[in-house]
Structure 1
C-alpha cells in the first residue's frame, strides 16, 4: 500500500489508498474563484493550500487553479459563477448572499452568536434534531441545494474587532449620526441605533477614515487591520460583538462534484477541512504578532469595550432584527432555534473551560 504523509502548515494529512487509486485516474482540471485578491492572506490561504494538498494527494492528477478577485473582477459574483459552472469551485463568505437568501447568514456568523469552537462543533458534530446528522452541514446543504452547489466550511477569522473609531463611544447618543463603514447584519443593527452606515470600497477606507469622510469602520482584526494601516489614523479600537466567529466557505458546483470519482471527493473534503482549520491558526498568529507591533509602534491606541447600555441596545436590536426575519421565513426561524438550542448546551462548557481558565491565569499571574 502506498502511503504518503503530506504536511502543510502544521497539519498532517495521511494519504494512502486515496493516492494509490489516483495513479491510473484521468487528470481532472478545475478552477476556483475567490472573493478576495490572491495576496490577501489569510483569507486567500485556504483555497491555495487546499489546491496544493489535492494535487499532492492525487499524485498530480487533480489540479485546481485558484484565481483571485484581481482575475475574476467579480468578488461578489462567486456564487453565481460556481452555480453557472464557469468555475467548479469558489471561496467566499456565506453572508454575502443574504440578498439571495437570508438563511445564508447562519453559516458565517451573526451578532452575539457562537464562538469558533461552538460553531465548528455545530457544523460537524451537533445533532439537536436527533436525526443522526450534524445540524450545521445538514442545514447548509438544505439552503444551498436550490443554487445547485455544495457549501463547506472554508476557514474562520475568530472573533472580529468592533472597529476603529476616531472618537470614543461613551453612550448611545455618541452613535447618533456617526458615519461608519460596517456591512451586513451588523450594519442593519447599527442603523437601527442611529448610525449612518456607508458602503465604501476597501481601497478607499484608509483615506476616508484619515480625512474624516467617515468616523469609524469595521474590518477584521489586528492581523488584517495592520495591512490597511488603520492603526495610524484612529486611536480607539473597540472589542467585538458583531462577528464572533466568521466562517468563510468553499462552494462546489454539484454537477462537477457528481462527476468526480469517490477517491477525489474524499481528497477534496479532507483538504477543505484541513485548510479551513489552518486558516484560523494562521489568522490567530497574524493577529497576535500584529497587535504586539501595534502596541509598540502606536502606544496611543486605546482598546475599548462598548459601554454596557450600548451593548445591550446592540443585543436587543439584533434580536428584534432576527425575529423580524424569522416571522417571514420558516427555515430561518428553524435554524435560529436550532443554533440557540446548541448555544444553550455548549455555552456552559465554554464558560467553564476557556473563559474560566483565562480568568484564573490572569489572577495567578497578577495582571
Structure 2
C-alpha cells in the first residue's frame, strides 16, 4: 500500500511540475503578446492639416484599435520635426520609423521614386490603384526603395489635381517661358523643357511665395485643399489639370523597424495603411465636390480655364521626349515606364467604354 501511495505521490508531483511549467510558459507567451510597440511617424504636413493629415491620424487609430493597443504610432507634423521635405532621410536613417509624404519629392535623391505618385497624362486614381495592387506596381516600388532600407505603401489619393493658379492667362507656349512656378515631380521637368522655371516649395510657404511674387504660379491640389489656402485672392486664373491625374501620397516605413514587428502587427499595419489611403481618396473627392460648389457660388470672378490645345501638345511632346531620355539612361526607369504604359493601354480601353461613355451620355 505504501508503494502505491508513494507512486501516486510521484505522479501527482510530476504532474504538478508539468502544470506549473505550462502555466509559466503560457504566462510568458501572454506577456509577449501584450508587448506594446511604439512607432514614430513624421509627416510633410503641418498640424491638423485636413485630408492629408487626417490620413495619418486615421491610420494610427486603426492600427492601435485592431492591435488591441499593442501598436501605437505617434505622429510628428512639420512644425515638430522642422523638415517637411526631409521625410525620406529621417525614415531611412531610423530617426523616424514611418513617414507620410509624396514619392515624387525624392526624385532629386532617387529619380525613379517619382513614378509612384502620379505621372503627367497618366492613370486616373482607380487605374493607378489597380496597377499598384494587381498590375505589378507594388513590386516595382519595392525594388526602387529596397536599397534605401525603406518600404513604400500607397498613402492616399487626392484625385486628379488642378493645373494650378496663375497670375496671368496662358494662351501660347511662349507664355510659359520664364514662368516661375511651384510644381514638383516629372511635371516640373516638362515645364522646364518648354522654358518655364519650376521649383518645389513646402506647403506652408506657398501662399507667401505667390503673394510676394517669388513665384508667378503654383499648383497645389484642387478644390479640396486649394480653397482654404486662399490662392484665389492673389491669382485669378485657375487651370484644369494635366500633370497629376491621380496623385498618390505614400506611407514610408523603415524596413528594419517593420521586420522587427510580429507578423500579426505587420499585417495590421498594412491593412491600416491601405484602408486609410482609400478613406483619404473618398474624403478628397467629397471635399472637392463641396468646395467646388463654394467656389462657383462665392467666388464667381475666378476664371477657370483649360490650357489651349497647342500648349497641351507642347507639354505632351516634352513629356514623351523626357520619358525616352530617362528610359535610355536607366533600365529600371525603362521597366517602370513600360509597366505603366502597358497597363494604361489595357485599362484605359475599359475606362473609355465604361466611365467616359457614361459621362458622355449624361452630358447629351
Q: Is the 8 A contact 1:22 1:58 kept in 2?
A: no
Provide Cα deviations, 1:192-229, integer angstroms capped at 9, x if missing partner: 21223345554443344345453322111011111110
Q: CA deviation at 1:37?
A: 1.2
Provide Cα deviations, 1:255-290, integer angstroms capped at 9, x if missing partner: 111111111111111111000000111111111111
Other-structure match for 1:48:
57
Other-structure match for 1:123:
132
Match of 2:121 among 108, 112, 121: 112
Other-structure match for 1:13:
none
Q: Is the 8 A contact 2:37 2:71 kept in 1?
A: yes
Q: Secondary structure at the match of 1:110?
A: coil
Q: Greater CA radius of gyration, 1 or 2?
A: 2
Q: Distance in 1 between matches of 2:115 and 2:315?
A: 18
1:238 matches 2:239: yes
Q: Distance in 1 between matches of 2:31 and 2:275?
A: 20
Q: Distance in 2 between matches of 1:278 and 1:22?
A: 34
Q: Distance in 2 between matches of 1:200 and 1:106?
A: 20
Other-structure match for 1:65:
74
Q: CA deviation at 1:178?
A: 2.5
Other-structure match for 2:268:
267
Other-structure match for 2:226:
225
Q: Distance in 2 between matches of 1:196 and 1:54?
A: 42
Residues paired across the two proteins, number: 335
Gap change, CA 1:205 and 1:78, over 3 Å in 2 = closer
Q: Is the 8 A contact 2:85 2:202 kept in 1?
A: no
Of 211-220 and 201-210, the range deviating more from structure 2: 201-210
RMSD, matched Cα: 1.7
Q: Which has the higher helix share?
A: 2
Where does the alignment leave 5 or more consecutive residues of structure 1 unmatched?
A: 1-20, 127-134
Q: CA deviation at 1:171?
A: 1.5
Other-structure match for 2:363:
362
1:155 matches 2:161: no
Other-structure match for 2:104:
95
Q: Is the 8 A contact 1:223 1:290 kept in 2?
A: yes
Q: Secondary structure at the match of 1:40?
A: coil
TM-score by length of 1: 0.87
Provide Cα deviations, 1:157-208, integer angstroms capped at 9, x if missing partner: 1111001122221111222233322223212211221223345554443344
Where does the alignment leave 5 or more consecutive residues of structure 2 unmatched?
A: 1-29
